[in-house]
């Protein structure tokens, strides 16, 4: 049977001494690399060497009371494993048969191929804009899910990478047949809230619901006329609220409708007066479902700043990502969703109403993130369903 271990030590001679003590003189060095251990947030860490070694174990070793199988690695400052303590018992020498050596060489080759694949996936996720710490977590989770038989297989790694990426995002619980009664859209200027509001109303209408459309955006030139035109085309009720009390009164008067989608003016942290007014609007409503609209083309730090700004006024229950058709890389959006643990309830890419609106979108987002790596591996990336297919 093959035993494979990873060791960390201050230098290579110390690592080799520990490997010999643990696995014996027949151990094979599979991989080594310089690393840094300890410290906080990447600071004050110290240099070390990480070595992976493997050796054959026999039934005699297990029956003779060897503690090899009972050894468990200690954790140190978040590192995956540390080197075997010096007090570990010395196993007796184990001669390797030609068959065992061949199996060990085959195992070493598979590990090498798996390391190459994981390294390529690591670089691809980084290039897509996912935060480095998160990339490391995803790769480690994917690696832990690989079986011995699947080592070195890109198709197997694809499945565990997809699973690892999806596992870090919260689930979308939006149901088109039973949406929240009041959906309040908010977000920075220029992210596409007004068009998104029209797409939502049309999508709910296509599912047999009775939607209504309301706006509080009385600042942007043409905003009211734009939504009024959408409402006329879709044949849904539309009205404007100029202050919080009027908003609450009109929303209550539409209690017989299945869902009321509320548009709001775009704003940011540099506009405290408008933010205070928006907060008053949210507080005037009875249990609104607050959705933050963000553009997939925005920088990661800008999206995080928007979450912080709007979350400071009222709880953000979900996000809508717009302009996905204009963004080359969506790793930043993924990082924001993961960091804030906010579900992605709608995704939009394009101007068609409502065809270019997708319910949820986490799986499509992950598919786009993996697409460049899959292309490099010669694997098909598949196609994501549109909103009307979900």
DSSP string, 155-203: HHHHHHHHHHHHHTSPPP---TTS--SEEEEE-STTS-HHHHHHHHHHH
At residue 383, the pLDDT reads 39
Is residue 108 within 8 A of residue 30, CB to CB? The reply is yes
Whole-angstrom Cα distance, residue 281 to residue 208? 29
Extract the tokens encoding 125. Answer: 């996720």
* pLDDT (tens digit per residue) in 90-136: 445 455 565 555 555 555 555 566 778 888 999 999 999 999 999 99
Q: How many CB atoms lie within 10 A of CB 135?
A: 20
Whole-angstrom Cα distance, residue 323 to residue 67? 58
| Nearest CA-CA partner of 74 in 37, 108, 44 | 37
At residue 51, the pLDDT reads 83
Indicate the pLDDT class of residue 56, thresholds 50, 70 and 90.
low
Residue 83 has pLDDT above 50, yes or no: no
At residue 389, the pLDDT reads 33
At residue 74, the pLDDT reads 36
Indicate the pLDDT class of residue 314, thresholds 50, 70 and 90.
confident
* Dihedral Cα 267, 264, 390, 158, nearest 10 deg: 10
Upstream peptide bond of 354 is cis (omega within 30 degrees of 0): yes
* pLDDT (tens digit per residue) in 135-164: 999 998 998 888 877 777 889 999 999 999
At residue 112, the pLDDT reads 60
Residue 331 has pLDDT above 90, yes or no: yes
If you count them, how many residues does the chain have?
Answer: 390
Is residue 113 within 8 A of residue 151, CB to CB? The reply is yes
At residue 326, the pLDDT reads 92
Is residue 269 within 8 A of residue 309, CB to CB? The reply is yes
Higher pLDDT, 19 or 92: 19
Q: What is the pTM of this model?
A: 0.70
Indicate the pLDDT class of residue 87, thresholds 50, 70 and 90.
very low
Helix axes 300-311, 331-340, angle to 10 degrees: 30
- Round the average pLDDT of the chain to a whole number and report it: 81
Q: How many helices (H) and strands (E) does the chain have?
A: 12, 11
Is residue 290 within 8 A of residue 186, CB to CB? The reply is yes
Residue 43 DSSP one-character state: B
Q: Which of 29-43, 320-334, 367-381 is predicted least confidently?
A: 29-43
| Nearest CA-CA partner of 349 in 219, 191, 232, 223 | 191
Higher pLDDT, 390 or 149: 149
At residue 52, the pLDDT reads 80
At residue 196, the pLDDT reads 94
| Nearest CA-CA partner of 163 in 374, 385, 370, 379 | 370
Residue 40 DSSP one-character state: B
């Amino acid at each position: 049977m093959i035993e494979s271990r990873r060791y960390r030590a201050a230098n290579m001679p110390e690592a080799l001494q520990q490997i010999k003590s643990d696995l014996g003189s027949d151990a094979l060095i599979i991989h080594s690399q310089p690393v840094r251990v300890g410290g906080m947030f990447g600071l004050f860490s110290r240099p070390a060497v990480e070595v992976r070694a493997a050796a054959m174990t026999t039934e005699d070793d297990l029956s003779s009371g060897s503690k090899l199988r009972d050894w468990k690695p200690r954790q140190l400052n978040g590192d995956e494993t540390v080197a075997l303590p010096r007090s570990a018992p010395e196993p007796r020498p184990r001669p390797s048969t030609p068959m065992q050596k061949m199996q060990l060489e085959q195992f070493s080759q598979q590990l090498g191929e798996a390391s190459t694949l994981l390294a390529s996936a690591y670089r691809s996720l980084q290039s897509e804009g996912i935060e480095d710490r998160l990339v490391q977590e995803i790769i480690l989770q994917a690696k832990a899910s690989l079986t011995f038989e699947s080592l070195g297989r890109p198709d197997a790694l694809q499945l565990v990478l997809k699973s690892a990426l999806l596992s870090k995002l919260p689930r979308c619980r939006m149901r088109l047949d039973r949406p929240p009664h009041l959906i309040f859209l908010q977000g920075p200027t220029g992210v596409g809230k007004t068009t998104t509001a029209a797409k939502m109303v049309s999508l709910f209408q296509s599912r047999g619901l009775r939607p209504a459309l309301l706006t509080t955006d009385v600042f942007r030139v043409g905003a009211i006329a734009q939504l009024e035109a959408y409402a006329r085309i879709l044949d849904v009720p539309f009205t404007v609220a100029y202050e919080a009390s009027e908003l609450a009164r009109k929303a209550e008067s539409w209690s017989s409708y299945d869902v009321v989608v509320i548009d709001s003016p775009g704003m940011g942290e540099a506009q405290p007066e408008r933010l205070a007014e928006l907060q008053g609007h949210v507080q005037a409503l009875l249990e609104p479902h607050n959705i933050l609209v963000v553009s997939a083309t925005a920088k990661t730090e800008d999206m995080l700043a928007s979450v912080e700004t709007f979350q400071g006024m009222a709880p953000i229950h979900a996000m809508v990502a717009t302009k996905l058709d204009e963004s080359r890389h969506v790793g930043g959006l993924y990082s924001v969703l993961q960091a804030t643990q906010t579900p992605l309830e709608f995704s939009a890419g394009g101007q068609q109403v409502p065809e270019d609106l997708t319910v949820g979108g986490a799986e499509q987002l992950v598919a786009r993130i993996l697409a460049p790596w899959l292309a490099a591996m010669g694997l098909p990336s598949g196609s994501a369903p549109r909103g009307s297919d979900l």
